[in-house]
Amino acid sequence: MTTLNVFDQNAPANPRVVTEDAGKIANLLAEHGVRFEQWTTRDLPADASAEEILGAYADEIRALKDECGFQAADVISLNPDNPQKEVLRRKFLDEHVHSEDEVRFFVRGQGLFYLHFGDQVYAVLCQKDDLISVPDGTRHWFDMGPEPEFTCIRLFTNPEGWVADFTGEDIASRLPRYERLAGAAG
């Protein structure tokens, strides 16, 4: 189930807010300009190709492109047997910003977005059916866990794709990781 934990960055041991209510999650995130929606996923084979996934969601992708000016869409998929899983996890675990919105629609599996607003960190465990759009300039990081298992559609205004500017802050190392938060949700 999708969950939201809100932490005080100066006392990160225990969250201030914990909820599984999708409407409440959407409202709390909207206060910071974050778009959160739940869409209905399509029945696709587990081994569906990127082209099949993009084709199955072509109408939704087109609508988001028209609404938000996105130029490109792709699919990222990771499984526990990926030999690069540790390298990829570390790549996204440090706080960073982008010069464009970061949009992910979870077709399969789950991942944990951390959004840093002032002295608060919102940890959103996104799962299948969740769409999240993190506004450009928002400090954040992503934890896929030690055994990643997810497929996401990503949308970009920059045709080059994912480009991050790392903040150099160590805040990501001070908050509970995927193993604790996803374990508590499951």
140 is in an annotated binding site: yes
- Please indicate if the annotation marks 102 as binding a ligand: yes
Q: What is the DSSP string of 23-76?
A: HHHHHHHHTTT-EEEE-PPP---TT--HHHHHHHTHHHHHHHHHHH---EEEEE
Summarize the confidence of residues 53-66 as an average pLDDT: 96
Q: 53: which 2 tokens?
A: 């996934």
Arithmetic mean of pLDDT, 75-101: 92
Chain segment 32-52, per-residue pLDDT in tens: 999 999 999 899 988 899 999
Is the pLDDT at 1 greater than 70, yes or no? Answer: yes
Confidence bin at 14 (pLDDT 50/70/90) = confident
What percent of the chain is predicted at pLDDT more than 90?
Answer: 78
Across the chain, what does the average pLDDT equal? 92
* Residues 6+ positions from 34 with CB-CB distance below 8 Å: 115, 122, 132, 133, 134, 135, 138
Distance CA 42, CA 22 (A): 20
Q: Is 116 annotated as a binding residue?
A: no
For the chain, list the domains and their CATH numbers. 38-112+126-185 (2.60.120.10)
Could you tell me which residue, 159 or 78, shows the higher pLDDT?
A: 78
**pTM for this one?**
0.93
**Predicted local distance difference test score (pLDDT) of residue 52:** 97
Does 60 carry a binding-site annotation?
Answer: no
- What would the pLDDT profile of 98-135 be if each residue is shown by its tens digit? 888 989 999 999 999 999 999 999 999 999 999 999 99
Lowest mean pLDDT among 11-20, 82-91, 118-127: 11-20
